[in-house]
Structure 1
Amino acid sequence: MQTVVVLSLICALGLALGKIRVMGISLGVAFVFFVGILAGHFGFEVDSRMLDYAQSFGLILFVYCLGLSVGPGFFGSLAHEGVTLNLWGLAVILIGTAMAVCLCPLTGISMPDMAGLLCGATTNTPALGAAQQTLSQLGIPHSGTALGCAVTYPLGVVGVILAILFMRKFFVRPADLMPRSISEENETYIARFNVVNPAIVGKSLEEIATMTHLRFIISRIWRGDEVIVPKSTTQLQLDDRLMVVTKKEDASMLEILIGLHVEEPEDWNSEKVDWNALDNKMESRVVVLTKPILNGRRLGSLKIRHTYRVNISRITRGDIKLLATPDLRLQYGDRLHIVGDPKSVDAVEAFFGNSVQSLNEPNLAAIFIGIILGLALGSLPLQLPGMSIPVRLGIAGGPIVVGIIVGAFGPRFHLITYTTRSASLMLRKLGLSLYLASLGLDSGAQFFETVIRPEGILWICIGFALTVVPVLLVGMAALRSHKFDYGTICGILSGSMANPMALAYVNDTIEGNSPSVSYATVYPLGMFARVILVQMLLMIAGG
């Protein structure tokens, strides 16, 4: 009971103070960590086993729900920008490791102690565990390693946020703050075309689709005063006016195929378009998929166009808009944009369910099953060539990997992974608050005593440099490349430093989901790299 009361007070006070803005800046949930340190310093104590449980459970809940939320768009981003994102993340890791190696002879700090400083500065507890196991096998004492990690860990958590704030204040342009998709295949673009190409006149839509590699959906056709919901057998005629959903980069190629791209004053890609005002014969309606039996089914297998004589033009999944292609697998909670006559749309609505109320009840069983699988994966020893000690993903790496996989492929096995955005954010914030409160309380008990030790100030300064310098160097280089928006860069930096608090701060202050996607993209490889590098350094130094 005492543990619950103390952690609740720390979370409540930290979240309240985190809303305070100084010069337009607030730390949000990150303030929970500072309140925890102060509580530990002033003698607040809880049962150590309960504290370990709260810290572990909070971190597991946060990283699993994060992986679950970014899973649907993760592999699309990985295929397009994943290699580039991970290269930037590895640059952060290599710069920090090189600094640690160079600082050993300059400061007189031994490699085991420097390894501890590096693990704390990068908030990487799996790397610390690997370092301690390596030193034990080499017969080298590792008490200084653990102490170095404890000293540098608090500022390692905060240092990434400070570096991000510094970049935003002095180097970020307004254009850099605009979210950009890192998974362009998940973007839809709506445009109107007039058929003027004689090569496609008289051909069916099925025949035209075989003439090009372009992916597009024709949602409706205007032919004189007639409005047509097209089928695969519908033949195009000269001067037909088409409403087409495609990808933006394919619009110019479609103009070559179809004919005339009509530039109109109204932006069809605006969220405020009244589609039902286009004509009075067709209705456009958004229907939510809430029938579990349809979860994971391919859209083409349902034969919706043939059975109901309607068109599904696009599908919204979270913040991502997808082309409604036949091979697309549906997921529970998908929002389908349907065009057809009112009676047909009513029938399709009943087919898909459209029970919005059911979406307010997240499938908690799937979350707990995913957590169990994540912990199982995190505990598996992975033997890598040349490494004498097996590597483990741990309680942070295992759940986030499983969360990504379940979020991306769960529907294929008819596993309902849908949670509302508000429920997902609440679970993530609850987990992160518990983790930071426990971490701060545990660190605060000896933090100030360690600081006043003779080597304490030097260790803290070195740890702070190992945190901030690589983040700033890579962050500013990434900004100057103009390849990514600021949110994506912050996600790369937070993921490469294994810093969920920095990610939470970025998500609180930046629009869009790009920080979470880039964080999840670089985190697994970054964690592996740090665990392997610290073991290599110690084995080389010990040899």
Structure 2
Amino acid sequence: MFQHSLLFLAHNPLLLLFAVVALGYPISKLRVAGASFGIASILFAGIALGALVIRPDLDPALKKDISREMKLIYELGLAVFVYAMGLSIAHSFWAAFSREGIKKNAVVFIVMVVSTAAVALLARAVGFNARYAAGLLTGSFTNMPALAGVVDRVKSMPGMGPLEVAQPTVASAIAYPIGVLVPMLILLISPRLFRTSLKEEADGLKEYRTGHHHLEAWTVRVSRAEAESLRKHDICTTHGCRVVFGRVLRKAELLLPGPDFRLRLDDLVTVVGAPEDLEQVARLLGERSHVELDRDQSALDATRIFVSRAEVVGVPLGRLDLVTKHQAIITRVRRGDLWFVPDGDTVLELGDRVRVTTRRDNIEAIEAFFGDSYHALSDVSFLTFAMGLAGGLVLGEVPIPLGGGMVFKLGFAGGPLAIALILGRFHRVGSLVWNFPYGANHTIRQFGLVLFAAGIGLISGEGFRTIVSANPGVLPLFLGSALLICLLADGLTMFLGHKLFRIPLNVMFGIVAGTHTQPVVLGYATHQTGNELPNVGFATVYPLATILKIVLAQVLLGLVA
């Protein structure tokens, strides 16, 4: 009965694919000591089921059909994943070229180059081939786009059969758990090694915060003479307070403060921001008032609106000039799970939720201006999606000479990622909006990654069985090698970042997770710190870490060979 079921799956590749997903996905949700392997569980399930279904006695023509179909599936899945991911992290990638961002990415660059060299030396010392070495690198740093680039490169080499193509995936799958567990161990012991209180450190790091789970609105009375004629810009620039002025009550008249609005004595002003920023603003202007100005809806009202109109996306709020043209102010923006206060340089994205203060009779007009349509948010422009992805696939096929006769291609992973980072930077070209809503982007990314993990796992299952059964010693060999590489990489990351560049430990936790491009480690980091500061480090280095791994893993193929 069992053998008949396996044969039935072999004759139905699409059913086989989703059987892998159905088997692996529940496992991905299991948590041990607060951690799980996430989508990697689907990769492991694919390898296991592939090893059972694609047996040595299976019809060679049927094996070829399964291989061809799974190749198309995992290439499609990965291309979709990296393109959607590139659009979502484009803002963080370009922001990383600030002074602070360069320091964080310098850490990742040094660590990745040193780690690649270490893998090359280890491969020569131990005696495993270039394909194993490249797979070891991608598994130790838990990066599937890099693994896909390696597999694509190996397939293009002359004389490579199914066994050789499977070797990088086998090494990566064995090393992957180490690439998750070791950085979590480093995060656990780092506060003790560096004698740092994460909470005390976090309390003094307001400049690193990009968002909050909630914001508050206070009413402040202007009672200090030196506060008269101050503008919000003056307060934010001089004192580092990230706040927005909502409505102002001046002599029984409610006003909407524009960019150049100046305060006067006895004004009551609604200020929106984080509690610590609000306390500082209250001291600067005068005192907190018990008048709940934002509750007065006689003339002005506040409403939450979904941004679904393409015309307002990709345009800085300063250029929209909402106060002058539309008699409205955005007091806060929610993107994903976080709220943040906007400024004139803030660029809205599809799916953002904004809280707008305006006249009561102007609410419908403002809703129409921003769109406020659930239906529109559920739509993805497949025209721009297809155009961007096609451009990325073309770029991925362009040969890039590295010298010494070596040629490098970005492939179906790197090409779409590079194009997405560029398109995401500019948001739109004319009427074409490249980004799509946060929720849709997240769903597309997850679906693409699931297809890739299941497809590449199934293709590699036969090779995994053959390699391990012929030489069981590869298991401890790769586990031990991955352990050495991860300890070197994560120890070096902490030393360079925290001791040399003086990056706060809370942020370094995110950089360690970003170096491994591992959301599981990021989740563990935020759990350990109890704040969102690791997200800052993770978002800053994730794009460069991904690109470096795609490039260096393929360079490693040439170095070891």
TM-score norm. by structure 2 comes to 0.75
| Residue identity in the other structure for 1:221 | V
Distance 2:450 2:260 in 1: 57
Q: How many residues align?
A: 513
Superposed CA deviations along residues 24-67 of structure 1, whole A, max 9, x for unmatched, are 54433322122111112213355211111111111112222222
Q: Match for residue 408 of structure 1?
A: 425
State the Cα distance separating 1:445 from its structure 2 match. 0.5
Secondary structure of the 1:390 match is strand
State the Cα distance separating 1:346 from its structure 2 match. 3.3
State the Cα distance separating 1:91 from its structure 2 match. 3.9
Distance 1:224 1:533 in 2: 72
Alignment partner of 1:153 out of 172, 180, 201: 172
State the Cα distance separating 1:467 from its structure 2 match. 4.7
Residues 72-83 of structure 1 aligned to structure 2 (within 5 Å): 72-79=91-98, 81-83=100-102
Q: 1:368 to 1:463 in 2, by over 3 A?
A: farther
Q: 1:83 to 1:529 in 2, by over 3 A?
A: farther
Alignment partner of 1:227 out of 242, 251, 254: 254
State the Cα distance separating 1:192 from its structure 2 match. 5.5
Alignment partner of 1:162 out of 181, 194, 205: 181
Distance 1:378 1:526 in 2: 15
Q: 1:308 to 1:172 in 2, by over 3 A?
A: same
Given that residues 192 and 261 in structure 1 are in contact (C-alpha distance below 8 angstroms), is that contact kept between their aligned partners in structure 2? no
Superposed CA deviations along residues 457-495 of structure 1, whole A, max 9, x for unmatched, are 575345434553334424665688643447623542323
Q: Match for residue 40 of structure 2?
A: 30
Residues 361-400 of structure 1 aligned to structure 2 (within 5 Å): 361-384=379-402, 386-400=403-417
Which one is further off, 281-290 or 72-81? 72-81
State the Cα distance separating 1:8 from its structure 2 match. 0.7
Q: 1:129 to 1:419 in 2, by over 3 A?
A: closer
State the Cα distance separating 1:383 from its structure 2 match. 3.4
Distance 1:365 1:508 in 2: 38
Alignment partner of 1:523 out of 526, 537, 546: 546
1:340 aligns with 2:358: yes
Alignment partner of 2:18 out of 8, 17, 22: 8
Q: Match for residue 424 of structure 1?
A: 441
Distance 1:64 1:75 in 2: 16
State the Cα distance separating 1:527 from its structure 2 match. 3.2
Distance 2:96 2:489 in 1: 22
Secondary structure of the 1:313 match is strand
Q: Which runs of 5+ in 1 are unaligned?
A: 267-273, 496-501
Distance 1:211 1:447 in 2: 58
Distance 1:360 1:282 in 2: 31
Given that residues 378 and 397 in structure 1 are in contact (C-alpha distance below 8 angstroms), is that contact kept between their aligned partners in structure 2? yes
Residues 501-520 of structure 1 aligned to structure 2 (within 5 Å): 502-503=518-519, 515=538, 518-520=541-543
Q: 1:403 to 1:234 in 2, by over 3 A?
A: closer
1:355 aligns with 2:373: yes
CA RMSD of aligned residues (A): 4.5
TM-score norm. by structure 1 comes to 0.77
Given that residues 85 and 521 in structure 1 are in contact (C-alpha distance below 8 angstroms), is that contact kept between their aligned partners in structure 2? no
Distance 2:165 2:69 in 1: 21
Distance 2:422 2:380 in 1: 18
Residues 53-452 of structure 1 aligned to structure 2 (within 5 Å): 53-79=72-98, 81-103=100-122, 106-107=125-126, 109=127, 113-123=128-138, 124-125=146-147, 126=149, 149-167=168-186, 175=198, 184=209, 193-196=220-223, 198=225, 201=228, 203=229, 217-223=244-250, 225-231=252-258, 234-244=261-271, 259-260=284-285, 262=287, 276-277=294-295, 280-319=298-337, 321=339, 323-384=341-402, 386-411=403-428, 413-452=430-469
State the Cα distance separating 1:339 from its structure 2 match. 1.5
Distance 1:459 1:147 in 2: 17
Distance 1:208 1:99 in 2: 51
Given that residues 118 and 466 in structure 1 are in contact (C-alpha distance below 8 angstroms), is that contact kept between their aligned partners in structure 2? no
Distance 1:217 1:2 in 2: 58
Secondary structure of the 1:383 match is strand
Identity of aligned residues (%): 23
Q: 1:65 to 1:508 in 2, by over 3 A?
A: farther
Superposed CA deviations along residues 226-260 of structure 1, whole A, max 9, x for unmatched, are 4322246755322323334579998899679xx43
Q: 1:533 to 1:251 in 2, by over 3 A?
A: farther
Distance 1:80 1:445 in 2: 48
State the Cα distance separating 1:316 from its structure 2 match. 3.6
Superposed CA deviations along residues 274-298 of structure 1, whole A, max 9, x for unmatched, are 9842665431222233333333344
